[in-house]
Amino acid sequence: MPDTYAVIGNPIAHSKSPLIHAEFSKQTRQDMYYETILAPPNGFAAAIEDFQQNGGKGMNVTVPFKIEAYKISTRLTEQATAAQAVNTLVFDGNEIYGDNTDGTGLIRDIVTNLDFAITTKRVLLCGAGGAARGIMLPLLKQEPRMLAISNRTIQKAHKLRQQFSSYKNIVSGNYADIAGKEFDLIINATSASLIGKPLPLPLSTFATESLAYDIMYGDKNTPFLQFARKEGATYLSDGIGMLVEQAAESFFIWRGVRPETKLLIEMLNQKN
């Protein structure tokens, strides 16, 4: 019997994770099976128990269950603790290990795939929700010169900064507060792109040679990336690379083998 893994979420039908992990297991010759689980909004714990009892080895967790996955984990990594959310579970006897590979995936896509160093750069993180929190620690570990958190609801930006108060190079505010300032790396971690809305970013935001990165992806440039192009960002990227890299990191946690990601990212970009 091959080892079984799954992605759990609601909705889940359009998840690219089964395709990505099927490619990874083929490429690395791992004897494993990866399935999709649609859990009802109040059925996460029951679905996990069922999967575990049937010998399931690990899971990816997506919207809306990442916080619940964090709560049911009996052991958490530093990343998962900082993110207060879990996207990767490992089942081992009675233990449930919870990790979060989103931030690592983002950093690997920016630094390795796009060859854009974050160290000493001026970074703007747009958004202060779950997605933004999930990437804070890996971003800070890259030692940017400064990290500005901008959010529509200013209190949430301040709260997120306070969670990482041991780092002294963070500022927080709303979008008007960054008027006149420019940044080298601008990350959209809001859900504004989902509803087709650009962010109210000041025109000065994008420095020469800057990278605008949207953690969302779609079949055309998001409103954020369209605005970034118009306002002079040199490099643009959506979140397809991050999606593949966070999956590769989960795969590594489960199987101890690191899959190649380059060709798969190219393939998914062509399909987009």
Residues of this chain that bind ligand ATR (CB under 6 A): 127-132, 151-153, 156, 190-192, 197, 199
Instruction: Supply the DSSP symbol for 261.
Output: -
- Kindly tell me which of 62 and 269 has the beta carbon lying closer to ligand ATR: 62
**Cβ at position 104, least distance to ligand ATR in Å:** 17
Q: Say which of 16, 57, 66, 181 is annotated catalytic.
A: 66
CA distance 187 to 102: 14
- Kindly tell me which of 136 and 264 has the beta carbon lying closer to ligand ATR: 136
Question: Residue 81: helix, strand or coil by DSSP?
Answer: helix
Crossing angle for the helix pair 262-271 and 240-255, to the nearest 10 degrees: 140
**Cβ at position 65, least distance to ligand ATR in Å:** 12
- Kindly tell me which of 188 and 261 has the beta carbon lying closer to ligand ATR: 188
CA distance 120 to 122: 7
| Helix and strand element counts for the chain (H, E) | 10, 12
Residue count of the chain: 272
Q: Which residue has the tokens 């020469």?
A: 208
- Kindly tell me which of 74 and 153 has the beta carbon lying closer to ligand ATR: 153
Nearest to 170 by CA among 122, 134, 207, 102: 122
Q: In one letter, which amino acid is 158?
A: H
**Cβ at position 241, least distance to ligand ATR in Å:** 18
* Catalytic residue list contains 262: no
**Cβ at position 206, least distance to ligand ATR in Å:** 18
Catalytic positions are: 66
